[in-house]
Structure 1
């Protein structure tokens, strides 16, 4: 039976890749035109094309997205989204399920990928973790983005979690920015992405992807002295919810 499914899996992966690239090349000219409209307006337009990409690709490969809301958001103020990072599928899902406008923080190395790198450059706040000055520029850009009413998405674990732990320790960056800008933090959970696309392999699996939006954590009045406690608070909230739901 395994021998029968192996060629079917290869065909499925090839099909998923062709659809992924096909949609990418379809929207690439429109993203190129939007890039002339600036980082804010043009970037916001880019995300509508990326959302089309995600809304098309996920059902085309048999992955159904389910949103679970633990709070009723009615305001349009920007938030700092913190999301668990367990799969390379996370970024593709984010452009479908996060409220627009928003910008993710992303690794600058991804800009080197042909064609995709151009789209990536237009849609993220890039960060070069090997360069202190570059990290400072990224922080300034995130603060500027928030002032334009655009939310920020950060994976506080810093990298894809390939361990057997439900969460890796959080870095300080997201919580420092939240306190500096007095922007509320909204924890978001991706429950099934590791099952759909395990890290470190090419084993895409059809099925469901559940996204849980947890109540925001206010930061009003907090100072940098409160950063460790805030980071621990958000970590415990997300870890507890993940343990209860996975």
Structure 2
């Protein structure tokens, strides 16, 4: 059944992408159209989860103002993470994505036009991407970033630490709050393993209370990184513990 469901999800994504891409392509040809393209991509993502029969359950301990800018930091264990965060984060935002995403036909072009690409191995690329992120925040858009720097952990669902600096440098510099997001179970639905197989389950996301940065300086960056890590990791630990208890009592 998992193979059939995986095939269905793949076909569904392809059909939705083909239907939406012409409109998105037209919109991303000029700066003023990017917000419309952004809305179309969000709609496409939400439709995917609806038609896949995969409800998204959101624990909103904080309700972001869609008109304000935030730096959203989430754990990253699954290729599903981008689709989920893109569907649930309100407002106009930009992802920070690996340069390699640009190599995916059509999708890579769309992603590069809407979001910010970075080659983490190149200092010049990192500096350019950071400057672009700061410009985006000044425009009132949010940033979504996976501060682990990719799917790097060998012990899912334990995160890689320390986090990369970028998210926290920009948040402090612009005095914009960091909003931790816990993507609770994406790694179970679409594990980072070959061959890729999708398992049906409701998607679970937690919006945590924002961590303020007003008054912080770059000297406080390590503390801010640790605070963000602890909030997300505590939620993941709680989930692991409850699952362990469920198995013990089963």
So what's the TM-score if we normalise by structure 2?
0.90
Structure 2 match to 1:63: 54
Determine if contact 2:153/2:159 at 8 Å carries over to the other structure: no
Q: What does residue range 150-161 of structure 1 map to in structure 2 within 5 Å?
A: 150-161=141-152
Distance 1:16 1:174 in 2: 32
Count of residues paired in the alignment = 237
Structure 2 match to 1:179: 172
Structure 2 match to 1:106: 97
Structure 1 match to 2:243: none
1:245 equivalent in alignment to 2:236: no
* Misfit runs of 4+, over 6 Å: none
- Match for residue 20 of structure 1 among 8, 13, 25: 13
Determine if contact 1:47/1:95 at 8 Å carries over to the other structure: no
Determine if contact 1:162/1:199 at 8 Å carries over to the other structure: no
What stretches of structure 2 of length at least 5 have no aligned partner?
A: 241-250
Determine if contact 1:87/1:161 at 8 Å carries over to the other structure: no
Following TM superposition, by how much is the alpha carbon of 1:115 offset from its aligned partner in structure 2, in angstroms? 1.5
Residues 215-245 of structure 1, C-alpha deviations (whole Å, 9 max, x = no match): 0000111111111111111111221122123
Structure 1 match to 2:37: 46
What stretches of structure 1 of length at least 5 have no aligned partner?
A: 1-7
Following TM superposition, by how much is the alpha carbon of 1:173 offset from its aligned partner in structure 2, in angstroms? 1.2
So what's the TM-score if we normalise by structure 1?
0.91
Determine if contact 1:46/1:122 at 8 Å carries over to the other structure: no
Structure 2 match to 1:200: 193
Structure 2 match to 1:89: 80
